[in-house]
Amino acid sequence: MSQSAMTWILWLALVCSLPLPYFMIESGRVPAAQLFLFAAVTTPLAITDPGFTTRFVAVLFIVQSLLYGTLLYLLARTATRRVPLRRRALFTGVALALLAAVAMLDVYRAPLSHGPGPTNIVGVFW
């Protein structure tokens, strides 16, 4: 598999499962995918609602989404470049398995979707 494909696969796994802190009205730890979702939902509201609060919340979600998306891509690209070609598939498989295992644990705190307590990936999007 090519380095580019491995980078994108690893990036997608990181975006969907790595618990990252976010800062909003309430703070928590969620995957970047949920921040992307919040940014996608609040952007149309920021365009149609002239209020300061709506635009402020939308901008915070958009900025955090772009920041985490970029940082996770750079992390994935650096990781796949450092691994020798013949071991990239093994490295990616092990990384995917570890991220899937982490996602099943109660490592997220998603007060905007689940509640104040810790939850797993199902609770984040449920």
pLDDT at 126: 77
- Model pLDDT, residue 95: 95
Confidence (pLDDT) at 114: 64
As beta bridge partners, residue 28 has 22
Helices (H), the chain: 3-17, 32-48, 52-82, 88-104, 121-125
Q: What is the pLDDT along the chain (126 residues), one digit of tens a residue?
A: 788 999 999 999 999 999 999 887 778 889 999 999 989 998 998 889 878 988 898 999 999 999 999 999 999 999 999 999 889 889 999 999 999 999 999 999 887 776 678 888 988 887
What is the end-to-end Cα distance of the chain in Å, rounded?
Answer: 34
- 50-84: burial string, b at 16+ Cβ within 10 Å, e else: eeeeebebbebbbebbeebbeebbeebbebbeebe
**What is the pLDDT, as a whole number, of residue 49?**
84
> Residue 24's pLDDT is what?
78
